Amino acid sequence: MDHHAKVPSPLSSQAAREILADLSLWPVYSPCSADVIAAAELAEDQKVSFWDALIVTAAWQSGAECVWTEDLNDGQVIAGVTVRNPFKVRKTAPSQE
């Protein structure tokens, strides 16, 4: 195996535009000031970092049932959102996925 193979050329402009067009269809959530306050309260209540609490708040506001992160406890439910660690080895698939 050649470990010195060249990196493939960058995407063509057309391919990049197609990818961006696809990504533009994804829903985007922008937290408002009330979400920031709710996250601060959640962080204090759950003893997690503000940023983790903001992610959970955004997930809940977006209707997500599950958040994949290695920064919180796998299986933990915060504000109705189940935390899953993508690096944890499982014997069976969790029912929330």
Average pLDDT over residues 23-34: 93
The answer on pLDDT for 91 being more than 80 is no
Neighbours of 79 (CB within 10 A): 15
Name the strands in the sheet holding 66-68, side by side, starting at the edge strand that comes first in the sequence. 66-68, 81-84, 77-78
Nearest to 82 by CA among 65, 58, 61: 65
The model's pLDDT over 42-82, given as tens digits with 9 standing for 90+, comes to: 999 999 999 999 999 999 999 999 999 999 999 999 999 99
Rounded (5°) CA angle 41-33-62 = 80
DSSP for 10-33, written as a single string: PPPHHHHHHHHHHHTTS------H
List the structure tokens of 69: 């992160």
If pLDDT is split at 50, 70 and 90, which confidence band does 7 have?
A: very low
Instruction: State pTM to two decimals.
Output: 0.70
